[in-house]
Amino acid sequence: MLTIMTRGLLCCFLFVSALFSSAQEKPSPAPARPAPSLDSLVDTLDQAALQEAFRLLTNDYIQEGDLNPLEVNRAAFQGLLERLDFGAMLLTERTRSERNSPFLFQRASIHDTLGYVRFGRFSEEEVAKFDEALKDLQSDKKTTHLILDLRSPQAQAEFSIAAKILSRFLAPNELLFKIRRPGNDRPTLFVSTPEPVSCRLEPILLIDRETGNVGEIIAAVLRRATGCLVIGEKTPGLTVEYRDVPLGEDRILRYAIAEVVLEDDSSIFRVGVKPDLNTPTPLKSKADLYRAVDQGKPLSDFLLQKQRPRMNEAALVSGTDPEIDYYLLLSQNKPTPWDRPPLQDRALQQAVDLLDTTRFLDSKVPSRR
């Protein structure tokens, strides 16, 4: 009997203890919400609230001289430019000229099945050079692919250049893209035209965040029309037509007045072109490699990385030391060819490796008879 009572008291004690401890437990604090950004706070204000904010600041701010009408207009203009990003910008004559690409048109035959073309400023002269490159590359029947490098930082070029380059890849009389202007229901159409030289090679495109308006149009239209592979980084979405208007002394207001849309009326302004294979390459590395090629170094030098000679079994058998020259230079405090890491273009290397791998695998597939 005592055992049964003891067990009953023990159960009651445990039950009451559980209730007491659960009542004493403090709920875990909710995660702190991130502070709203300034943009989100301003975007919630209506016109009346904005006008009241301007009235209060210009009348009651402790240093009201800092908010005279000129300063308020400057602040509003600066904020407007920041919000529009590259839809509008304030330039000088020097900065406008600096936006031109410093790089040249380049062409190369990487190996017997793969060609390479890089545009610089997307000019009429470069279109003629592109035709010459296509003739030479396609004269070799083994060449099947063309790497089209669209990463030169030429922010603005003529839309007609994009249409001429695209006409080398597509059949005549195909709608390429349109230019849509506010208040005009009839957009300007760009249609492919018959050209003396056409590209029969399968393109692979290289893009990045420095690709300009013409490069973006070419990438967007070619991928839609041919399904070609695009490698690199997302482009900024500069596909607009700008107007430059002088403001004061040595100031130029550049703002978008028309927008490029694709055949289905989709826009890539501020959206950009996304690559199929995201392969970022540091901009400095790309620029250094571009300069080296412009100065005459073969592009192939940057595709195959040369390793420093090291001791191996073959050297032991032959009784030689392939590392002796390297260590002699080190002992004399002289520079060696391996002091600096080699320049690398990851996007270009990935394109070449992908094609080489595909070619190797295709060669292993037995042909059907």
Helix, strand or coil, per DSSP, at residue 137: helix
% of the chain residues with pLDDT over 90: 46
Could you give the C-alpha distances from 21 to 9, 12, 30, 344, in angstroms and in order?
Answer: 18, 14, 21, 64
Mean pLDDT for the stretch of residues 250-276: 92
Residue of 100 and 31 predicted with greater confidence = 100
pLDDT in tens, 310-343: 767 776 777 777 677 777 777 778 787 766 777 8
Residue whose C-alpha is closest to residue 212's, from 290, 151, 273: 151
For residue 10, what pLDDT is reported? 46
**Position 25 pLDDT exceeds 60:** no
Whether 357 and 364 have beta carbons less than 8 Å apart is answered as no
- Total residue length of the chain: 369
**Position 252 pLDDT exceeds 80:** yes
For residue 308, what pLDDT is reported? 66
What are the structural domains, with CATH classification, of the chain?
106-278 (3.90.226.10), 304-364 (no CATH)
Six-digit token string for 293: 């090629």
Least confident range from 135-144, 261-270, 359-368: namely 359-368
HSE of 181 in the Cβ direction (CA atoms, 13 Å)?
Answer: 10
> 4-18, 258-272, 308-322, 342-356 — which one is most confidently predicted on average?
258-272
Q: If pLDDT is split at 50, 70 and 90, which confidence band does 14 have? A: very low
Residue whose C-alpha is closest to residue 354's, from 258, 254, 279: 279
**Position 137 pLDDT exceeds 60:** yes
**Position 26 pLDDT exceeds 60:** no
Helix, strand or coil, per DSSP, at residue 134: helix
Burial 116-153 (b: 16+ CB within 10 A, else e): bbbbbbbbeebbebbbebbeebbeeeebbbbbbbbbbb
For residue 87, what pLDDT is reported? 87
pLDDT in tens, 195-242: 999 999 999 999 999 999 999 999 999 999 999 999 999 999 999 988
pLDDT in tens, 114-125: 999 999 999 999
Whether 231 and 204 have beta carbons less than 8 Å apart is answered as yes
For residue 93, what pLDDT is reported? 83
Least confident range from 23-27, 163-167, 225-229: namely 23-27
What single DSSP character describes residue 197?
-
% of the chain residues with pLDDT over 70: 86
Q: If pLDDT is split at 50, 70 and 90, which confidence band does 51 have? A: confident
For residue 11, what pLDDT is reported? 52
- Cα 163-166-172 angle, rounded to 5 deg: 85
Q: If pLDDT is split at 50, 70 and 90, which confidence band does 62 have? A: confident
**Position 81 pLDDT exceeds 50:** yes
- Residue 166 amino acid letter: L
Give the position of tokens 């004559």.
Answer: 93
CA dihedral 247, 252, 257, 259 (to 10 degrees): -160
For residue 319, what pLDDT is reported? 74
Mean pLDDT for the stretch of residues 349-359: 88
For residue 293, what pLDDT is reported? 94
Q: If pLDDT is split at 50, 70 and 90, which confidence band does 1 have? A: very low
Helices 159-167 and 213-226, packing angle to 10 deg: 30
Give the position of tokens 């407007």.
Answer: 80
HSE of 119 in the Cβ direction (CA atoms, 13 Å)?
Answer: 33
Whether the predicted model's global pTM rises above the 0.75 cut: yes
Whether 220 and 162 have beta carbons less than 8 Å apart is answered as no
Mean pLDDT for the stretch of residues 73-93: 87
- Residue 364 amino acid letter: K
